[in-house]
Structure 1
Amino acid sequence: MLKVENLSVHYGMIQAINNVSFEVNEGEIVSLIGANGAGKSTTLRTISGLERASSGQITYLNEPIHTISAKKIVEKGIAHVPEGRHVFKGMSVQENLDLGAFLRKDKDGIQKDLKMVFERFPILEQRKNQDASTLSGGEQQMLAMGRALMTRPKLLLLDEPSMGLAPIFIREIFNIIQDIQRLGTTVLLIEQNANVALSISDRGYVLESGKVVLSGTGQELLASEEVQKAYLGG
């Protein structure tokens, strides 16, 4: 579904990603794990068109997408939930969700998906007229994910969905990610909580200093002595 080949990205003279290659198959949850500054967020931002590659190629459904606009990438079925959630302050929960469907014309489908989002995140329906910025951190994360689902994505990019959340919300968010996969959406996940991320992932890749240094199934990486020492406190 998604293939990243020899991807390099620079911020001025600084190389954030160095010849990164990986792929995501349809229906999978794939995790990118690594320390802060490893290049994980830059990788996601480049896939979604927010950053430009210095070299390399990104192919989605057999089409190159590394040279097209972020808007066109969304139209092709890729939704990105960035780190920090970024809900729209001064707009209600309902208005934030409506913006997720901005590019869609299928009114019946939009209403169906809105109902699905409210079923998955009941607190959002209860607070649909509330300013999004007044929600708790966990509720804002649910809203950001719900807004992305309103685009009806084939591929969902999630950047640190558990950051700053209480343990009860973390469990809930990861249960929802698995539900999203079961309903047919492919997920590419960045997560500092490597233990939880790998436990729900079909496969994973470890990034260090902008390079992929390890890959395997989620269970293989969980069992890896190297991963345990570096990321799992083993």
Structure 2
Amino acid sequence: MAMLKVSDLSVNYGVIQAVKGVNFEINEGEIVTLIGANGAGKSTIVKTISGLLKPKEGQIIYQGKDIVHQKAPQIVLDGISQVPEGRHIFSGLTVMENLQMGAFLQKNSSEAAKSYQEVFDRFPILAKRKNQDAATLSGGEQQMLAIGRALMAKPKLLLLDEPSMGLSPLFIQQIFTIIKELNEKGTTILLIEQNAKQALSIANRGYVLATGQVQLTGSGHELLANPEVQKVYFGG
């Protein structure tokens, strides 16, 4: 049974249908990527899984339970965390305070302390800057903080929405290395990316979205080799 199964998902923004009958699934331990141009519906899907948007139609089955009507905090408690597009770190709060926001549902203080240490071990730069205003971090450091904040909730499924957006090539490589390492340590990942080549190179499977619908699906390697994908996304 899939960890997450999205069936016939349709989502509207007012009268505009942003997602039109989308189907996909993620098995435990996988990296699955959704790729597509701006406006394809990728971020809308992530927000709907997270409980921030409600669909017009369809099901989102997570670990055997439909979560369409669950509130966002319960979805986090159930094991789904989101790293939003644009990072959305809290400016005016320190790095440590941003991480505390990610841990607000943790009731066990010793477990929370362990989570802080795990984040600092993974991102040593955050440990050095833990008392610094998060707004003063570089773009790459802010993305590390956004990922660290999501990890504080101990997710089983991590939703990453455009993690490479606006980053330098060096930081992009670091972020994709971090994604692979998180997956190798047991976190299942849904990766939303415009950087299709990078995303497909680390994904077990991918779905290509256009105008709110799935147009193509296959393994990461299959989609990398697909002439249509190469033409649209790689200029080949």
Tell me the TM-score normalised to structure 1 length. Answer: 0.99
Distance across 2 between alignment mates of 1:33 and 1:6: 18
User: How far did residue 112 of structure 1 move?
Assistant: 1.4
Q: Distance in 1 between matches of 2:188 and 2:129?
A: 28
Letter in 2 for 1:85: R
Q: Which residue of 192, 195, 198 maps to 1:193?
A: 195
**Counterpart Cα distance in 2 of 1:214 and 1:129:** 46
2:117 is paired with a residue whose SS is helix
- What residue number does 1:18 align with? 20
Which of 140, 143, 148 aligns to 2:142? It is 140
Q: Residue 214 of structure 1 aligns with which residue?
A: 216
Deviation for aligned residue 1:115: 1.0
Matching of residues 11-160 of structure 1 within 5 Å: 11-160=13-162
Runs of 4+ that moved beyond 4 A: none
CA distance in 1, matches of 2:201, 2:154: 26
Q: Deviations over 1:180-202 (max 9, x none)?
A: 10111100000110000000000
The 3-state SS of whatever aligns with 2:68 is coil
**Count of residues in Structure 1 that have an aligned counterpart in Structure 2:** 234
CA deviation map 1:182-233 (0-9, x unaligned):
1111000001100000000000000000000100000000000010001122
Distance 1:229 1:127 in 2: 43
Q: Secondary structure at the match of 2:87?
A: coil
Matched-pair identity in %: 64
Aligned to 2:32, the other structure's residue is in SS state strand
Distance in 1 (CA, whole Å) between partners of 2:45 and 2:102 is 22
Bigger shift: residues 102-111 or 17-26: 102-111
Do residues 4 (structure 1) and 6 (structure 2) align? yes
Which runs of 5 or more residues in structure 1 are unaligned? none
Which 5+ residue runs of structure 2 have no aligned equivalent? none
Query: Which residue does the alignment assign to 1:179?
Result: 181
CA distance in 2 between partners of 1:71 and 1:116 (Å): 22
Instruction: Please tell me the residue identity of whatever aligns with 1:116.
Output: E
Q: CA deviation at 1:82?
A: 0.6
